[in-house]
Structure 1
């Protein structure tokens, strides 16, 4: 089953705390999951200041600079993994270095019926 691990952190603190992961540690973790055959995709995101939120209301396109909501933590990146169950997905998420300074939301991917 596919799981999306959404990595959230306070963008202002992500790289400044003593326990903050370095890019090389994040890459090493991603490569280890890749080599295990469970990695489907992973990407880090640009700063939340580059985000644009898109809404369509009554046929009108509404654009807002920045993220959808004001929060203390922002979406920093994601891992799309293949895991046999939620427990394995949680184990993978716990290994994500950024979990030490933020949080990782684990969600099963829903297959669309088309």
Structure 2
């Protein structure tokens, strides 16, 4: 079953953390990704840009609306995602507990209920 791990964290720039400070964090995530891959459960991962680089598109009342910057005014945001393919929630939670993101934020674990591919169209993974 596919699960997405949403890594929530505060903006490191607000804490004065620079690229050199991020080196150990990047190394920890690389080790984590390699462990997931070695275990045969790794699907993909994406580290996302900062919220101020985001653009939000809505179509409330049928009218397209584009808003620059973060839509929600929060201290934490989704900094990245990891998608894994594991047998059940217990296995997903075990991998989430090993995620370096838990050391400075939180990791939300959510199952995939539907997915789409060119070959299969909509299906339950």
Whose RCO is larger (CA < 8 A, sep 6+)?
1
Structure 2 unaligned regions, length at least 5: 116-121
Structure with more helix by fraction: 2
1:82 counterpart (80, 85, 92): 85
How many pairs align? 112
Contact 1:14–1:101 (8 Å) recurs in 2 = no
Pairwise CA distance, 1:50? 0.7
- How well do the aligned residues superpose, as a CA RMSD in angstroms? 2.2
Pairwise CA distance, 1:76? 0.2
Structure 1 unaligned regions, length at least 5: none
Q: In 2 relative to 1, CA 109–35 (structure 1 residues): closer, same or farther, beyond 3 Å? A: same
Contact 1:15–1:22 (8 Å) recurs in 2 = no
Pairwise CA distance, 1:68? 2.9
Q: In 2 relative to 1, CA 84–14 (structure 1 residues): closer, same or farther, beyond 3 Å? A: farther
1:67 partnered with 2:70: yes
1:6 partnered with 2:6: yes
User: For residues 57-82 of structure 1, what are the alpha-carbon distances to aligned partners after superposition, in whole Å with 9 as ceiling and x for unaligned?
Assistant: 12211111123311110110000001
Q: In 2 relative to 1, CA 62–2 (structure 1 residues): closer, same or farther, beyond 3 Å? A: same
Which has the larger Rg? 2
3-state SS in 2 of match to 1:58 = helix
> Following the alignment from structure 1 to structure 2, what is the Cα–Cα distance between the partners of residues 103 and 109?
19
The answer for the alignment partner of 2:105 in structure 1 is: 102
TM-score normalized with structure 1 length: 0.87
